[in-house]
Structure 1
Amino acid sequence: MLAPEVWAFDPPSNKLKIVEGSLDSCEEIERTIVSHPFNHLVSVVLPDTLQVPHDILDALSADNEYYKVSNISAHEFVEKEFLDAFVKRGHITALSVDSCIDLDNCLSIDGGQLMLSLNKESYQELGLEGKAIPSKSKEHQRYIVTLDLTVSHFVPGKKNYERAYSCLKNCLQTFDVVLSWKPQDDKICPSSVASYFCGLGLKVDVCKPKFIQRTDYGIAVPQLHPPGKECDIEEMIEWLGLYSLDDSVPANEFLSSYSDPEETVVCGQVVFLCWEGLFTTFQVKSLFQALREYLGERDTVPWVSLYVQGFADVPACWNAKPQEYFSDGDNSYTVVLKPGSGFVLVSQYSNTKIIK
């Protein structure tokens, strides 16, 4: 029996959005960061860098604990005490884990927006109004239910609140959730949210992101300056992916058709940083600002890159848009900061084509 030519299959088609601009105005980058709240992996590449500034390391390494709450019912997130203490007095980021968006029920909270991604049976049993996600098969239809926890009329005693509370308490299974809370008052400890759930008798684990720092020497990195001698940005993104995996290009063309960009410059030392965990938009913003300041101080650095990858199994990723999960759940973006206050922003959107 002959082995099929598996390498001949086309990969899932993803959409790339490429934006170039000046760092004098970072509105596009900041909008992208804010629109992508559930971040799982963040990596940074710093060419020509001997010592990493503390501001860059501390952005995701200092006070970076988040929490995993096991077997929590969705109704706990609409309790009056929770709304008053955490939703109204800070920013909550929460996401169900150990669940698959195309098979299981999933939950997320960004600020005051609670979102449920439900299969057909759970949606019909829940009894709350939602929207269907496009699907070719009616048997595998999924639905999105969104509750705005910040509106003034979502309080105990109001009909819509009481109905939502009852449905969430009686008609859904429990979830394992990772969460982080940023209080409005800096004097309040973010761990208060963990203490709150511990007081309810729930199992709460403290989690710390995994961190990797790697230094390589004599690396030929893609060149983005001067104009006319820069490599293509898609080649740049491909190179960053390969370098982040700490992999080399196979010499045998049978194993890989990849080739390094022609426009390169050799750097004596390149530093790679990678964090894996749950990261809020506030933390990513802080890291971006630290990288921006570093590049402003080091005009000899050829470029600096920031890569942010979201969770695959999240009810919504970009601008609270429901995840249309048909072949992959990729959602990520890369910011390449260039000398002369320029940047390139590449956003990747998962495939939304319904597989026949």
Structure 2
Amino acid sequence: MSAGLERTPRTLLVSDRSSFQHEKNRLSSQVEQLHFNYKVSVLLPECSSAPSHLDTAFNSFNSFYLIRDLPTYELLDKHFLEAAVYQGRVSGLSYKTRLDEDNSVALMPNGHLTLSLDKDSFELLGVEGKPSRFNHRTNRRYVVTVDLTHSSMAPGGRGHQRLIAGLKSRLQLRTDFLLSHHPGGGASLQALLSRYDWSEHRPEISSCTLTDLSCPALLTSDLQSCDPHRFLEWLGAVDAHVSCDNSSSSFLSSLVCPEPKTTLGRALSVSVVGLLLPQDVHHLIEQIRCHLEQPRLESWAALTVHGFVDSPVSWGGAEHGVLRGGENFYSLLMFHDHTYHLHLATGAHDTCPR
């Protein structure tokens, strides 16, 4: 085994406790900070099927588009800028590009375009950028960030023409591209879609009912004894359908449920996968809160949101780095009394979420 694999990579974890009813709670802004969500997982104890209002919330996530072989310069098209970008109605991400090896592209709802480029591509493009924060001994990657809403990037302006020229004649960057329109913004994409091979996708929903599930004794929001790392490890194991029983006959997993623990007779695990908007995640959180207001045996629910591993940005507009894992996710543990625990996590090659 190589020396690099013998050591567990360093991770960053920021934990916060607050109440939805606290006027200074920052949950809404923190949800908005993770722009490119790949997967949302929900765990509902003592539940075998989702109530109708939660089922509606799972199915109300907005659709998204996959555009094949899209030239990046199309994101600077005058009509696309005016109809979509300036209105704050779109976000997009290059698809199946590996952040540590390939050129990657991200378009954020605030109009910021980020290109993560290898050294040769950066030099070909010929525009201003900066070395990646995650270079080691030599500058092998560069990041170009452009505010497409700035006056200097207005169509026909010097900055706009220079970037267009670089992407058309020198670098000619093309990728498969995921594009999500915010509510009311679908029509703004039709001119772009008409020029390329594209397909529309609904987020994929899967669910399963778990029985006799070992679970930390989360009976109140005063959860002092459970270490956040162990709790997240358990929650991830449940989502991945990995047993935490750690029986002597099993050599697949040494994971155990944190103490003190209890056993849930049943629990519902639901996942939604796609290019998911933060607004849809926030709506789901509100519906889970309504669910928790109903009288029931258990008074908590857990939601975990995973960002794309190979997104050039993670929290806010901060650069995202990949070497071994590329994690960027948060877990929200909600209680019936409107309090919550929020855990924001990244791998070693990322800035600290906040």
SS in 1 for 2:144: strand
Q: Please state if 1:352 is matched with 2:346.
A: no
After TM superposition, list the pairs within 5 Å mapping 1:166-245 onto structure 2.
Answer: 166-170=165-169, 171-183=171-183, 186=184, 190-200=185-195, 202-226=196-220, 227=222, 231-245=226-240
The residue aligned with 1:45 is 43
SS in 2 for 1:71: strand
Q: State the shift of 1:51 in Å.
A: 4.0
Provide the rounded CA distance (Å) in 1 between the counterparts of 2:6 and 2:97.
28
The residue aligned with 1:151 is 150
Structure 2 unaligned spans of 5+: none
For 1:174, the aligned partner's letter is: R
For 1:11, the aligned partner's letter is: T
Provide the rounded CA distance (Å) in 1 between the counterparts of 2:348 and 2:4.
20
After TM superposition, list the pairs within 5 Å mapping 1:1-356 onto structure 2.
Answer: 9-25=6-22, 27-62=25-60, 64-111=62-109, 112-134=111-133, 135-138=135-138, 141-170=140-169, 171-183=171-183, 186=184, 190-200=185-195, 202-226=196-220, 227=222, 231-248=226-243, 249-252=245-248, 255-298=252-295, 300-352=297-349
Provide the rounded CA distance (Å) in 1 between the counterparts of 2:61 and 2:177.
20
When the two structures are superposed, what TM-score results if normalisation uses the length of structure 2?
A: 0.89
Partners of 1:309 and 1:333 within 8 A in 2: yes
Moved more, 336-345 or 216-225: 216-225
For 1:212, the aligned partner's letter is: S
Partners of 1:97 and 1:178 within 8 A in 2: yes
Provide the rounded CA distance (Å) in 2 between the counterparts of 1:7 and 1:101.
19
For 1:43, the aligned partner's letter is: S
The 1:46–1:7 alpha-carbon spacing in structure 2 relative to 1, beyond 3 Å, is: farther
For 1:321, the aligned partner's letter is: A
Moved more, 63-72 or 278-287: 63-72
Structure 1 unaligned spans of 5+: none
Provide the rounded CA distance (Å) in 2 between the counterparts of 1:331 and 1:63.
21
Provide the rounded CA distance (Å) in 2 between the counterparts of 1:342 and 1:63.
25
Aligned residues: 343
1:65-122 Cα offsets, whole Å, 9 max, x none, are 2110011111111111001111123421100012110111000011111110000000
Partners of 2:41 and 2:304 within 8 A in 1: yes
Moved more, 144-153 or 276-285: 144-153
Partners of 1:224 and 1:231 within 8 A in 2: no
Superposed CA RMSD: 2.4
1:168-221 Cα offsets, whole Å, 9 max, x none, are 2222321110110114xx4xxx43255222322x10111222211111233332
Q: State the shift of 1:265 in Å.
A: 3.1
Provide the rounded CA distance (Å) in 1 between the counterparts of 2:225 and 2:53.
29
When the two structures are superposed, what TM-score results if normalisation uses the length of structure 1?
A: 0.89
Partners of 1:223 and 1:230 within 8 A in 2: no
For 1:231, the aligned partner's letter is: C
Sequence identity (%): 27
Provide the rounded CA distance (Å) in 2 between the counterparts of 1:7 and 1:141.
20
Provide the rounded CA distance (Å) in 1 between the counterparts of 2:225 and 2:348.
29
